[in-house]
Amino acid sequence: MARQQRAIRTRRIFLQAAAEVFDEHGYDAATIAAILDRAGLTRGSLYFHFTSKEELARGVLQEAVTSDGVTPQTFKLQEWVDMALLLAYRLPREPLLSASIRLSVDPRARGLFGTRWPDWIVIGTELLTEAKERGELLPHVDPEATSRLVVGAWTGVQLVTESMAEPPDLVAEISALFELILPNAVVPGVLARLDTSPHRAARIMEQQAVAAS
Amino acid sequence: MARQQRAIRTRRIFLQAAAEVFDEHGYDAATIAAILDRAGLTRGSLYFHFTSKEELARGVLQEAVTSDGVTPQTFKLQEWVDMALLLAYRLPREPLLSASIRLSVDPRARGLFGTRWPDWIVIGTELLTEAKERGELLPHVDPEATSRLVVGAWTGVQLVTESMAEPPDLVAEISALFELILPNAVVPGVLARLDTSPHRAARIMEQQAVAAS
């Protein structure tokens, strides 16, 4: 068991190191040597877990779709909003998440590994479909089309934000995005009770850190 | 005069060729040889216009911010919508535009040349500011913040759309994006008279082709 836990931890260290190197240099320019150097572990231990740079990239992408931190809420829409806000909060703090976007927008890496956008679209579609069944959404809303648009919008807002000389806070931008789109998708009684505030993500993360400690 | 026109045309051929090569292979992998090959002109004629790959990339980015096709409308908001719809229509048809996005999302090219997103944000802010002065926008709308969000959302919707196995039509996606965001930004009397239909872009392009012929 201890050995298994150590193996999981080692695997994680390599994924983190690979994510950092992909994130800083891009997939093509990333080398196994740089990843080893970053991880501070031996080549033998790397090859026990991953046989190539390709496999590391696949591992990074696999880890990148996560609704960690999202807990059941009175409204399914709140869970959808929470997922997007938490991701905006975590992305600048977690290389695994930013590397996953970098691999997805890099056409060569995308050609090799695809993207995780379809998975995000499915998760959003499921939440929005349930929200619609519960009567939280206006009748004209198409869950799949809306999920797809918001995955795209989220990604682009992140890209444009990080490219700015003085980047605005990503959570605040995503919060503003929801304020722009929700009034035309959500029934009024639910809309008034959704929390889209930029502070929500940090609050959730802190509560969970306290609960876990 | 004939010589000058030929020079403009030659310059344009090289920018087109460079855009196609950047678009297909990315900035790093693009070579002067491939660009020359695509242009079908001599090396001497290339160096008369551009001394390096860097200069070609700068040239491509310079051409990429264009509101060609947008004509004065009763509502300033219609001009803003038209700009976004026309760009969505033209992007899959014009390598200069798609290469510009590819250079902007490539972190290395972005580090060298910056992006054109700030320019798009300025153009949108100006249109939205004028729309607001004319009373077309709801009082809570911040032109700069809204322009920034929509430039981001537009970009991400394009990226996610083009990555899909069966990509939906980009103009239809951008039209749906506007349907999602406009009701919470536009005063009702104007909203009902804005044309955000996906057919609008093709119609404008056809009218202008007829007018020019």
> How many Cα atoms are found within 13 Å in the side-chain-facing hemisphere of A70?
22
Distance in angstroms (rounded) separating the CA atoms of residues B197 and B208? 18
Cβ contact (<8 Å) for A157 and B156?
Answer: yes
The candidate with the shortest Cα–Cα distance to B187, out of B135, B124, B144, B143, is: B135
Give the pLDDT score at A86: 95
Distance in angstroms (rounded) separating the CA atoms of residues B164 and A183? 28
Give the pLDDT score at A65: 84
Cβ contact (<8 Å) for A183 and B185?
Answer: no
B contacts of A121 (beta carbons < 8 Å): 160
A contacts of B106 (beta carbons < 8 Å): 26, 105-106
Q: Is the pLDDT of residue A63 over 70?
A: yes
- 3-state DSSP helix/strand/coil percent for chain B, to nearest 5? 75, 0, 25
Whether chain A has a CB inside 8 Å of the CB on B112: the answer is: no
Cβ contact (<8 Å) for B184 and A184?
Answer: yes
What's the mean pLDDT in A108-134?
93
Higher pLDDT, B143 or B205: B143
Residues present in chain B in total: 213
Q: Under CATH, which architecture does the A2-63 domain have?
A: Orthogonal Bundle (1.10)
pLDDT tens track for B47-70: 999 999 999 999 999 888 888 889
Give the pLDDT score at A74: 95
Give the pLDDT score at B211: 83
Q: What number of helices (H) and strands (E) belong to chain A?
A: 12, 0
Q: Is the pLDDT of residue A212 over 90?
A: no
pLDDT tens track for A166-193: 999 999 999 999 999 999 999 999 999 9
Query: pLDDT tier at A105 (50, 70, 90 boundaries)?
Result: confident
Nearest to B26 among A108, A117, A179 (CB): A108
Give A117 to chain B, closest Cα distance, Å: 7
Q: Is the pLDDT of residue A28 over 80?
A: yes
Q: Which CATH number fits domain A76-212: 2.40.160, 3.30.1460, 1.10.357, 1.10.10?
A: 1.10.357
What's the mean pLDDT in B128-150?
97
What is the number of CB-based contacts under 8 A between chain A and chain B?
A: 124
Per cent of chain A over pLDDT 70 is: 100
Cβ contact (<8 Å) for B184 and A185?
Answer: no
Furthest C-alpha separation in chain B:
59
Higher pLDDT, B24 or A151: A151
ipTM of predicted complex: 0.90
Whether chain B has a CB inside 8 Å of the CB on A45: the answer is: no
Q: Is the pLDDT of residue B1 over 60?
A: no
Cβ contact (<8 Å) for A180 and B151?
Answer: no
Task: Tell me how crowded residue B26 is: count the other CB atoms within 10 A of its CB.
Answer: 20
Per cent of chain A over pLDDT 90 is: 72
Cβ contact (<8 Å) for A159 and B110?
Answer: no
Please provide residue B49's backbone torsions phi and psi, each rounded to the nearest 5 degrees: -100, -40
Higher pLDDT, A165 or A132: A132
Extents of the domains making up chain B: 2-63, 76-212
Give B43 to chain A, closest Cα distance, Å: 28
What's the mean pLDDT in B65-78?
90
């992305």: which residue's tokens? A91
Whether chain A has a CB inside 8 Å of the CB on B106: the answer is: yes
Cβ contact (<8 Å) for A152 and B160?
Answer: yes
Average pLDDT for chain B: 92
Q: Is the pLDDT of residue A22 over 60?
A: yes
Please provide residue B137's backbone torsions phi and psi, each rounded to the nearest 5 degrees: -105, 150
Higher pLDDT, A141 or B29: A141
Give the pLDDT score at A1: 56
Lowest mean pLDDT among A26-30, A80-84, B33-37: A26-30
Distance in angstroms (rounded) separating the CA atoms of residues A30 and A14? 13
Distance in angstroms (rounded) separating the CA atoms of residues A156 and B153? 5
